[in-house]
Amino acid sequence: MHERELGALVLSGADAGDFTLSNDTCSNQTRVQDARGSFQITLTPSATSARSAVVDVPSNAPSGADIVTLTGTRIPLTDDIFSHGFEGP
């Protein structure tokens, strides 16, 4: 089995500051083929427009680093949302 050495995951891109990387079990690890790791991404958008970033997953794989594309949009809460039966007691 081939081992894959992973480097530190890095958030980058236009709106990287709106995304948070946590619960990372991948960074700086050595994995055998088909082994799994995970990480969590949280979006806290600073604007209502579409937000985007990427997670770079560096490794010694022949194909080089993997890139995970992130996108999201903030949906503003309005009184309209609460006028359709979603109010509290």
> CA 47 from chain center: how many Å?
18
- Distant-in-sequence, close-in-space partners of 10: CB < 8 Å, separation ≥ 6: 55, 56, 58
**Would you list the domain boundaries of the chain?**
3-82
Question: With 90 as the cut, is the pLDDT of residue 61 above it?
Answer: no
Taking residues 51-78, report their average pLDDT. Answer: 88
Task: Identify residue 87 by its one-letter amino acid code.
Answer: E
More confident residue, 35 or 83: 35
Question: With 90 as the cut, is the pLDDT of residue 67 above it?
Answer: yes
pLDDT tens-digit profile of 29-44? 888 877 888 999 999 9
Q: Which residues pair with 53 in a beta bridge?
A: 70
Q: Decide the pairing of beta strands 51-57 and 66-72.
A: antiparallel
